[in-house]
A and B are shown apart, each in its own frame.
Chain A
Amino acid sequence: MSAVQVARTVDAKGLSCPMPIVKTAQAIKEMPSGALLEVIATDPGSTKDFVAWAKSTGNELVEQSADGGVFRFILRKK
């Protein structure tokens, strides 16, 4: 995993659909354009959700990784 500098982290571990995305959308709303948001989730369905959400909203999914059931996403606010 990279050590990129993020402005904010959303801990969505243990949350099931739709909460990881809802918490992400809430957080990114409050961030300035270009800022990086890190989200950590354990919901297995979240991988596809984040790809779809990024594509639909225009916020770039910069990076994603998985490590033993824990998924990490880095998003850049458009």
Chain B
Amino acid sequence: MSDTINLVLFSGTDDKLQVASVLTAGAAALGKRVNIFLQYWALDAFRADRIDADHGLAPEAGPAGRAAVDALRAAGQASWKETLVQAKELGEVDIQACSLSMDLLHIEQSDLDPIVDGVEGVTAFYLNADDGEIVFI
């Protein structure tokens, strides 16, 4: 497995972002570099004024899924944002906003939570992706 893992985050629901944060933290714990590229609804979830809000769950969760997710959080599971913060402290995690998606949402970097390191386009993302896997969430 390569020393770099690249996650393209498109989905903005809490369940998918939770999975993304776990993949990131796991990689950081193994000393791997993680490059995250925020697209569309995932980028929207990283806005400073809504990063801690409820972003809902994917449709397949249903009421049972909602209850299961709530139970795990009530038992003390960290939010995806907290997990990402810990991952960043632990290892090399770079979070970039896709400039196309910034245009789509009509936002600027100052609208985003400070956990986002910058804005880039697809070319820079591919350059930094090196020979690591690219995962789409």
Query: Which residues on A sit within 8 Å (CB–CB) of B89?
Result: 26
Q: B43-51, B59-67, B76-84: which lies at the A interface?
A: B76-84
Which residues from B are CB-within-8-Å of A57? 30-31
A26 touches B75 (CB 8 A): no
State which of B20-28, B33-41, B110-118 sits at the interface with chain A: B20-28
Q: How far is the CA of A18 from the CA of B23 in the complex (A)?
A: 8
- Assembled-state Cα–Cα distance A56/B77 (Å): 25
Among A14, A15, A21, A26, which residue has its beta carbon within 8 angstroms of that of B26? A21
Contact A25 B72 (CB under 8 A): no
Give CA–CA (A24, B31) in the complex, Å.
Answer: 13
Partner of A21 from the list B29, B75, B76, B77 (CB cut-off 8 Å) is B29
> Which chain A residues numbered 54 to 78 have a C-beta less than 8 Å away from chain B?
56-57
Q: Given the complex of chains A and B, what is the CA–CA distance between A18 and B30 in angstroms?
A: 11
The 8 A CB mask of B67-110 against A (1 = contact, 0 = none) is 00000100111100001001101110000000000000000000
Contact of A53 among B22, B30, B87 (CB under 8 A): B30
* A6: interface (CB < 8 Å): no
Q: Is the CB of B30 within 8 A of A16?
A: no
Question: Which residue from chain A places its CB closest to the CB of B25 in the assembled complex?
Answer: A18
Looking at the assembled complex, report how far the CB atom of A48 sits from the nearest CB atom of chain B, in whole angstroms: 12
Given known pairs A25-B29, A57-B31, the reply for A18 and B76 (CB within 8 Å) is no
- A 22-54 to B, binary, CB cutoff 8 A, 1 in contact else 0: 101110010000000000000000000000010
Other A-B contacts than A21-B29, A22-B25, 11 sampled, CB-CB below 8 A, are A14-B75, A16-B75, A17-B26, A19-B78, A21-B26, A22-B83, A25-B90, A26-B89, A26-B90, A29-B90, A57-B31
